[in-house]
Amino acid sequence: MFLGDILVGRGLVSAADIDAALARQLTEGGRLGDNLIAMGRLTAEQLAEVMNTAPAVPASLEETGISQRSLLNLLLKFMLIEGCETLLDLAERLKLPRRAVQQLLDEAVHQKLIQAVGAAPGGLALSIRHALSETGRAAAKEALEQNLYLGPAPVCLPAYHDQVLRQRISNEQLDSEALRQGFEGLVVPEHYIRKLLPAVNAGRSVLLFGPPGNGKTTLATRISTIFKDVVYIPYAVEISGQIIKVFDPSLHKPAAIQAPAAATPSGIGLQRETFDQRWVACKRPVAVTGGEMTLDMLDLQHSAETKFYDAPLHVKALNGMLLIDDFGRQKFNPNDLLNRMIVPMESQVDYFKLITGASFSLPFDVLLIFSTNLQPAELMDPAFLRRIQYKIKLFEPTRDEYRQIFEGVAKSRALTLTDQVFDFVVQTLRTGEFGLAYYQPRFICDQVVEACKCFNMPPQLTVELAIEALTNLYFDIEAAQEDAAAAPRVAA
């Protein structure tokens, strides 16, 4: 990951700014960051913050924090399994600087594990090909028996621990305007903003509760998109000789797409600051789990086949957000989850144990959100409820808010909401004691659009079609049928 990618990912500069700085670099020289500062596109303070937060490239094998034996085993596995032969190939796979990989190759030659077999086309020193010796092949197979991990070199536990602390979610303090912009397109009452902003900035634990269908999940997932900071996620961590895979492509989203370095007319690449490639610069992670959640998701997942671990869900969410949706609907007793999370929530530290018996701890830096439509008192005892820092109840919308939601949804689907249809829907729902909910207008409009499409009618929101949608929404809403019979019909 290049510095330019990080700056763009954090929203400090644009891609056009990077291109302009690279063009200036061609004529003025210097480093990319210095050129951006000279152009007024970036401040020295912003650059220093980025540089201090990002993991630095290790200058030697010792600075990786991983034993030479572990790295050598990984190199041998790449040579055996993927047929890597050159320093460039191995540096790309291991995500280590070339000088560190060269140290490994020199050591492997010294131990007679590999031997040089010539040069790839071009004849450059970097393209010298190496092959495993019989001794090296045996050592590679022995390494595979220890574990089948084949990926970028891991980082050490102290480095991971320190990095989590450097990029705490509470470092990113939002203001009310940022929250409003994040909720753009939604109808969010101002009193929700007043409650949510302190909860989000605290970066601790939040309970969202209230009647179903009133935006708890929507608000929580929208919150996750508001954060702008870039955080660094390791591909893997080594702890007491055991490897834990952390980076998850389905959950960790790179902050920017890496672009090749710009080149001069002579073909010589420009100097672009890089960071330790064993880490991926990502947007703050967001993990969402609901009724399918199991307690095993919060434990280290060791595979007997691969002999390495997959990180727990909340570890993958470190420096980000974990949403436990539909809390209380899981197959396990809610108290089991509460007992598991009470220590991390209280002390902001979590503890884990490897199958070897070794234990370790990690900072628990997660915006933890519980979302439920059940009564909190039925789910947890007062002691646990006290430990949840913020408790926010979401109510059904007012009539005016409901009209605003309904009109917005209808407009987005090329429908017109008339007073007659709106009054009918509100009366039907309230007469049947179903109440108003934020999700209902979307459901009704989608059903109407689908019905019009099926019967080859122009999109139109009528009382008759609204009735059909409501009966699909609530199977026991007979009152809607009775009221409809008395209501004036709108031609379909």
pLDDT at 264: 37
Distance CA 371, CA 317 (A): 17
Q: What is the pTM of this model?
A: 0.83
Q: Is residue 158 part of a domain?
A: no
Tell whether 408 and 424 lie within a shared domain.
yes
- Shared domain check, 92 and 217: no
Q: Give burial (CB, 10 Å; 0-12/13-18/19+) of 292.
A: exposed
In this structure, is residue 100 part of a structural domain? Answer: yes
- Say whether both 135 and 72 belong to one domain: yes
**Do 206 and 296 sit in the same domain of this protein?**
yes
What do you get for the CA distance between the two ends of the chain, in Å?
Answer: 58
Q: Which of 378, 393, 408 is the last residue of a domain?
A: 393
Specify whether 358 is located in the same domain as 463.
no
**Domains held by the chain: number:** 4
What count of Cα atoms within 13 Å lies in the side-chain half-sphere of residue 441?
Answer: 29
Q: Identity (one letter) of the amino acid at 418? A: T
Do 102 and 240 belong to one domain? no
Is 160 within a domain?
no
Q: In which band, very low, low, confident or very high, does the pLDDT at 78 lie, cut at 50, 70 and 90?
A: very high
pLDDT tens, position by position, 131-178: 999 999 999 999 999 999 999 999 999 999 999 999 999 998 888 999
| 388 shares a domain with 318 | yes
Nearest alpha-carbon partner for 200 in 227, 166, 231: 227
Average pLDDT over residues 56-61: 92
Of 151, 331, 330, 120, which is closest to residue 238 (Cα–Cα)?
A: 151
491 located within any domain: no
Question: Which residue in 460, 454, 458, 447 sits closest to 421, CA to CA?
Answer: 460
What is the predicted pLDDT for the residue at 492?
A: 39
In tens, the pLDDT along 255-308 reads 864 444 443 333 333 344 578 999 999 999 999 999 999 999 999 999 999 999
Total residue length of the chain: 492
pLDDT tens digits, one per residue of 374-413: 888 888 888 888 888 899 999 899 999 999 999 999 999 9
Q: Please give the full DSSP string across 206-255, using - where no structure is assigned.
A: EEEESSTTSSHHHHHHHHHTT---EEEEESEEEETTEEEE---TTT--BS
Question: Which helix or strand (DSSP H or E) is residue 467 part of?
Answer: helix 463-473
User: Does one domain contain both 260 and 351?
Assistant: yes
Q: How far apart are CA 270 and CA 300, in angstroms?
A: 43
Using CA atoms, how far apart are residues 41 and 392, in angstroms rounded to an integer? 40
| Residue 123 pLDDT class (50, 70, 90 cuts) | low
Q: Specify if 351 maps to a domain.
A: yes
- Residue 263 DSSP symbol: B
One domain for residues 388 and 409: no
Query: Which pairing describes strands 155-156 and 236-239: parallel, antiparallel, or unpaired?
Result: parallel
Q: Quick count: other Cβ atoms within 10 Å of Cβ 227? A: 22
The amino acid at residue 241 is G
Q: Are 58 and 43 in contact (CB under 8 A)?
A: no
Asked whether the predicted pLDDT for residue 208 surpasses 80, the reply is yes
Domain that holds residue 304: 170-393
- CATH number for the domain spanning 313: value is 3.40.50.300
Per-residue confidence (pLDDT) for residue 269, from 0 to 100? 35
Judge if 35 and 129 occupy the same domain.
no
Q: How far is CA 477 from CA 152, 450, 459, 481, 484, in A?
A: 58, 21, 24, 8, 11
For residue 96, report the phi and psi dihedrals to the nearest 5 degrees.
-115, 155
Closest residue by Cα to residue 316 from 235, 242, 371, 226: 235
| Alpha-carbon 267 to chain mean position | 37
Angstrom CA distances, 327 to 19, 331, 357, 364, 373, stand at 47, 10, 32, 20, 8
Same domain, 448 and 316: no
Q: What is the pLDDT of residue 418?
A: 96
Would residue 455 count as lying in a domain? yes
Q: What is the C-alpha separation between 420 and 252, in angstroms, rounded?
A: 47
Cβ atoms < 10 Å from Cβ of 127: 16
User: Residue range 334-351: average pLDDT?
Assistant: 91
* Res 272: pLDDT: 46
pLDDT band at 478 (very low <50, low <70, confident <90, very high): low
In a domain? residue 315: yes
Q: Is residue 60 part of a domain?
A: no
What does each C-alpha distance from 368 to 228, 321, 361 come to in angstroms? 18, 6, 18
How much is the pLDDT for 124?
A: 57
Domain CATH code at residue 74: 1.10.10.10
Which of 160, 334, 188, 138 lies closest to 245 in space, CA to CA? 160
Residue at a domain's end among 120, 152, 184? 152
Verify that 286 and 345 share a domain, yes or no.
yes
- The overall average pLDDT reported for the chain is 88
